[in-house]
């Protein structure tokens, strides 16, 4: 049996956007795909507000860690999706890479104001990522079904 295709979501710090996308894609795609995230300059932590807004929709990011994209250079990465311009520019080619997509989003880590105002920004980014990555996941699942590889 072959391993499910690996989809790698990249951003610069791997503290917010890429984790939001990873969590949402994992839930949407299920076991037919492996989803991971990494950064070109990892922050070393997952932003607490990212964890919080994902918990609001039933996705647990509390065990996620910030990783460098180089950790994946020896893996068969089928698809790379960048969620910020810096990661798109720094993105290397990975072994087995067939697809590359760029879906840029505002970095909620730069939100200012009260905690509630910052949470509003995190929720807006989460919901934007959910819309784009939800449509992407539907397309990938349809493709896999037609090929007889899942579901």
* 150 labelled catalytic: no
State the residue range of the domain holding 125: 6-139
- Does residue 149 sit within a domain? no
Which among 74, 76, 50 has a CA at the least distance from the CA of 62? Answer: 50
* DSSP H helical ranges for 16-114: 17-29, 48-55, 85-90
* 11 labelled catalytic: yes
Q: Which of 5-14, 41-50, 53-62, 141-150 has the lowest mean pLDDT?
A: 141-150
- Does residue 1 sit within a domain? no
Give the C-alpha distances (Å, rounded to integers) separating 7 from 21, 67, 99.
11, 15, 9
pLDDT per residue as tens digits for the range 82-120: 998 776 666 677 877 789 999 999 999 999 999 999 999
Cα gap 4→73, rounded to integer Å:
17
Identify the residue with better confidence: 65 or 87.
Answer: 65
Annotated catalytic residue, options 11, 16, 150, 151? 11
Count up the domains in the chain and report the number. 1
What confidence category does residue 126 fall into, taking pLDDT thresholds of 50, 70 and 90? Answer: very high
Cα gap 52→89, rounded to integer Å:
29
At residue 88, the pLDDT reads 60
Which among 99, 90, 100, 96 has a CA at the least distance from the CA of 69? Answer: 90
- Does residue 151 sit within a domain? no
Annotated catalytic residue, options 16, 91, 150, 151? 91
> Exposed, middle or buried: residue 80 (CB in 10 Å: 0-12, 13-18, 19+)?
buried
Give the C-alpha distances (Å, rounded to integers) separating 47 from 16, 43, 51.
6, 9, 7
Q: Angle 57-107-46 (CA atoms, 0-180°, nearest 5)? A: 60
- Does residue 148 sit within a domain? no
- The pTM of the full predicted model, rounded to 2 decimals, is 0.93
- Does residue 118 sit within a domain? yes
Average pLDDT of 12-20? 95
Instruction: Kindly report the CATH number assigned to the domain that includes residue 122.
Output: 3.40.50.2300
* 84 labelled catalytic: yes
- Does residue 144 sit within a domain? no
What confidence category does residue 3 fall into, taking pLDDT thresholds of 50, 70 and 90? Answer: confident
CA–chain centroid gap for 123, Å, is 15
Gyration radius of the chain over CA positions: 15
């Amino acid at each position: 049996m072959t391993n499910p295709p690996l989809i790698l979501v990249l951003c610069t710090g791997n503290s917010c956007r890429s984790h939001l996308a990873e969590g949402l894609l994992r839930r949407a795609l299920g076991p037919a795909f492996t989803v991971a995230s990494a950064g070109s300059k990892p922050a070393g932590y997952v932003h607490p507000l990212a964890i919080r807004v994902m918990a609001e929709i039933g996705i647990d990011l509390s065990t996620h860690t910030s990783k460098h994209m180089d950790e994946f250079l020896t893996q068969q990465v089928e698809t790379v999706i960048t969620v910020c311009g810096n990661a798109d520019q720094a993105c290397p080619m990975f072994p087995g890479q067939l697809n590359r997509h760029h879906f840029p989003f505002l970095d909620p880590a730069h939100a200012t104001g009260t905690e509630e105002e910052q949470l509003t920004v995190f929720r807006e980014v989460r919901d934007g990522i959910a819309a784009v990555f939800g449509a992407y996941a539907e397309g990938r699942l349809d493709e896999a079904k037609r090929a007889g590889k899942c579901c």
